[in-house]
Amino acid sequence: MHDHGSSDGERHRDTNLNKVLLIGNPNVGKSALFGLLTGKYVTVSNYPGTTVEVTYGNAVLNKVRTTVIDTPGVNSLVPMSEDEKVTRDILLTDRADVVVQVADTKNLRRGLVITLQLSEMGVPFILDLNMDDEAKSRGIFIDQERLSHLLGIEVVKTVAIRRSGVDKLLKSIQQPRQSSLEVRYDDAIEGAIRDVSALLPEANILRRALALMILAGDESLKGWLHANMQDHVIAEVETIRQALQSKYNNSLGYLINQRRMKKADEILAQVLSLHESGKGSAIASYLGKWSMHPVYGLPILLVVLYAVYQFVGVLGAGTVVNFLEKGVFGEYLNPWAIKIVHFLLPVPFLQEMLVGDYGLITMALTYSIAIVLPIVGFFFIAFSLLEDSGYLPRLAVMVNQVFKLMGLNGKAVLPMILGLGCDTMATLTTRILETKKERILVTLLLALAVPCSAQLGVILGLVAGLSGLATIIWLGTLLAVMLLVGFLAAKIIPGQPSDFVLELPPLRVPQLANILVKTVARVQWYLKEAVPLFILGTFILFISHKVGALAYIQKLTDPIVVNFLGLPSRAAEAFVIGFLRRDYGAAGLFMLAKEGLLDPIQIVVSLTVMTLFVPCIANFFMMVKERGMKTALYMVAFIFPFAFGVGGAMNWILRTMKVAL
């Protein structure tokens, strides 16, 4: 992000590099359009808040080298959460040549509220009416020409996921204009806008827009104000704002927004026509209702979970892993590798390093490619299907009441579920939450009790071999821990929970192409991020083993691992390596179990500890980045003994009660 001091330089920037900024309400297809324009894939899903960061991509549009910028969705350019602030900040500090406002055609009313704010800012822009197909199937028709005339800017219609309308969009991008539209507010507000504008410094957007943001009570603007204005001027501005606010009962932000909404309705009345033509997909609409139904909702959830379990746990972690691990690697690749290495490298040390018990090929690659990769691959497919169907936000409706117990609301279910994909990414997604308290709570619960896909897959593979009771004990302990810790942490961590206001996207049939592209992108990410860590971890194990450190660590941890948790000494390896990657730790347990070294109780105990245990290194760094070093360390300091405590208690209870699993 540029600081303001460089904005002069900005204006004389390289004219060859055009900047196109994508802006719009959440879940309208900005990322889909971004992918279309740049060929660079960013995650596209069917729920608001998929994008929480700004993404840059380069493309040659209309023969001009262009940087395309994808932004998190906003409902108003007065931000309510961190992800919305990112978008407002980029408008404030980064001068784009063209702003492309992406709007959901069937939901134009809310899009127009953004349009009005962009016209107030005086930025050159065009309006893209996306998802035109869905609007048509619902009988909603927008008179594009008339709208273009009313707004004084180019208006195009697209269906980004089908690449339809892109040619026209590219043409329009060459003719961005400032909108001629103007919203008049009450005389008192207009007066205050004039007074405040006179005090403001020059910025990338018109002073009028900036004044309106300040009057609307935008707290998040404070940083910018302090960087660009003197304190006594800021105080003067605040006095004007308070004087104006005291004239009204309702908040100024609301009054301003209400006025915009009214203007949007006036425009809409002139361009919108409704035709009778069915109400979209009736099946999707019913499924959407049932998935949040107080009675049918739960069975649907169970069916979904069971389907995921069958697909990932049984098919992926069972059949495919067996085929790869025992068949491909066990029968062919590893024996060949051993032969080749022994033939080519007559040095015992190197032989052992590559193909020994802790060999980079026989252990690191076997674990990462034969065990974890198929599991995460299957999980990514299942997860993408869920994401694109629009089911996840509906889960929030089902669990809102439970989450309230933990000082959260249903909205927090999104980062938590994403944690099942990857806790690191999910920690980033906590930005969609509105209060600091909620962000801290969810970060903690993610690190503690939400297993990530790779780990989960391995765990599903392990418990698939046990009785249903074992799975229930593992899952029940996790849920109980989550509730208990959430409940207590909510009491300790200061702050207020926020309102539950969550937009639910329509249920959609997932697009096969998007599922494939998304899965491939995630698998690539896994290979790039995880495999090197597997190799590093194995190397550390190998060296530790060679210098005898492993035996020493095992001896050191025996009192906990062996006596307290009742696990074999070698399980310590899995825990140590679990620092690097959670799934690697789980895979270590997976191998121990396969070798028959763990009985069912030991499996359940070790899995529980492994799940609760510290987050992987990447997740820890993300915690530090998002929450700060102090908070992150506090969390780890809590999680570490807590995980072992729970495991020990579990071991004792299961043994004492002689539970047969």
User: Measured from the CB atom, is 316 or 393 closer to another protein?
Assistant: 393
Least distance (Å) from another protein to the CB of residue 498? 8
Q: Kindly provide the b/e burial profile for residues 274-310, where b requires at least 16 CB atoms within 10 angstroms of the residue's own CB.
A: eeeeeebbeeeeebbeebbeeeebeebbeebeeebbe
Residue choice 49, 73, 297, 316 for contact with another protein (CB under 8 A): 297
Identify the DSSP state of 246.
T
Q: Which amino acid is at 643?
A: A
Q: Smaller CB distance to another protein: residue 158 or 409?
A: 409
Q: Could you give the 3-state DSSP secondary structure of residue 659? A: coil
Q: Which is nearer to another protein, 328 or 483 (CB)?
A: 483
Task: Choose which of 122, 124, 139, 217 interacts with another protein (CB under 8 A).
Answer: 217
Nearer to another protein among residue 504 and residue 553 (C-beta):
504
Binding test (CB under 8 A) with another protein, winner from 393, 457, 537, 578: 393
Q: Site residues for another protein, window 77-96 (CB under 8 A)?
A: 78, 80
Using the Cα atoms of residue 437, residue 439, residue 444 and residue 450 in order, give the sign of their dihedral.
Answer: positive
* Cα distances (angstroms) measured from residue 151 to each of 214, 263, 495: 25, 12, 43
Contact residue for another protein among 106, 263, 518, 522 (CB under 8 A): 106
- Min dist CB 110 to another protein, Å, is 5
Interface with another protein (CB under 8 A), residue from 180, 277, 401, 467: 401
Residue 562 structure tokens: 């062996």
Q: Decide: helix, strand or coil at residue 293.
A: coil
Binding segment toward another protein, per CB under 8 A, in 8-16, 102-110, 229-237, 599-607:
102-110
DSSP sequence for 551-604: HHHHHHHHIIIIIIT---TTHHHHHHHHTT-HHHHHHHHHHHHHTT---HHHHH
* Nearest to another protein of 76, 430 (CB atom): 76
Q: Which residues pair with 128 in a beta bridge?
A: 102, 156
Nearer to another protein, 7 or 107 (CB): 107
Q: Distance between CA atoms of 589 and 594, rounded to whole angstroms?
A: 8
Which residues in 499-521 are b (16+ Cβ under 10 Å) and which e?
ebebbbbbbbebbeebbebbbeb
Q: Is the CB of residue 605 less than 8 Å from the CB of residue 645? A: no
Q: 37 vs 159, which CB is nearer to another protein?
A: 159
- Binding to another protein (CB under 8 A) within 408-447 occurs at 409-410
Q: If you search the block for the tokens 């506090």, which residue do you land on?
A: 634
287 is a contact residue toward another protein (CB under 8 A): no
For helices 571-578 and 549-558, what crossing angle results, to 10°? 100
Q: Which of 110, 241, 581, 582 binds another protein (CB under 8 A)?
A: 110
CB of 120 to another protein, least distance (A): 15
Task: Give the span between the Cα atoms of 603 and 611, in whole angstroms.
Answer: 12
DSSP, collapsed to helix, strand or coil, labels residue 3 as coil
Instruction: Name which of 134 and 325 has its Cβ closer to another protein.
Output: 134
The SS3 of residue 417 is helix
In angstroms, give the least distance from the CB of 253 to another protein: 4
Q: What is the nearest approach in angstroms of another protein to the Cβ of residue 30?
A: 17
Between 135 and 531, CB nearer to another protein: 135
Among 5, 278, 294, 548, binds another protein (CB under 8 A): 294
Rank residues 365 and 413 by Cβ distance to another protein and give the closer one. Answer: 413
45, 55, 75, 455: residue in contact with another protein (rule CB under 8 A): 75
Closest separation in Å from C-beta 271 to another protein: 14
Residues 122-161 that bind another protein (CB under 8 A): 138, 140
Q: Write 326-330 long-range contacts (CB < 8 A, 24+).
A: 328/370, 329/365, 329/366, 329/369, 329/370
CB nearer to another protein: pick between 248 and 349: 248
Q: CA–CA separation, 249 vs 235, rounded Å? A: 22
Decide if 99 contacts 21 (C-beta within 8 A): yes
Nearer to another protein (CB atom), residue 297 or residue 457: 297
Residue closer to another protein, measured from CB, 316 or 505: 505
DSSP-assigned states of every residue in 82-151 = HHHHHHHHHHHH---SEEEEEEEGGGHHHHHHHHHHHHHHT--EEEEEE-HHHHHHTTEEE-HHHHHHHH
Count the site residues for another protein by CB under 8 A.
45
Of residues 485-524, those binding another protein (CB under 8 A): 499-506
Min dist. Cβ of residue 383 to another protein (A):
22
Q: Which stretch binds another protein (CB under 8 A): 224-232, 368-376, 395-403, 553-561?
A: 395-403
Evaluate the CA torsion angle 274, 275, 279, 280 in order and state its sign: negative
Would you count residue 3 as binding another protein (CB under 8 A)? no
Considering only residues 226-265, where is the footprint of another protein by CB under 8 A? 250-251, 253-254, 257-258, 261-262, 265
292 lies in the site for another protein, by CB under 8 A: yes
Give the largest CA-CA distance in the chain: 89
Binding site for another protein (CB under 8 A): 75-76, 78, 80, 104, 106-107, 109-110, 113, 138, 140, 216-217, 250-251, 253-254, 257-258, 261-262, 265, 289, 292-294, 297, 393, 396-401, 409-410, 499-506
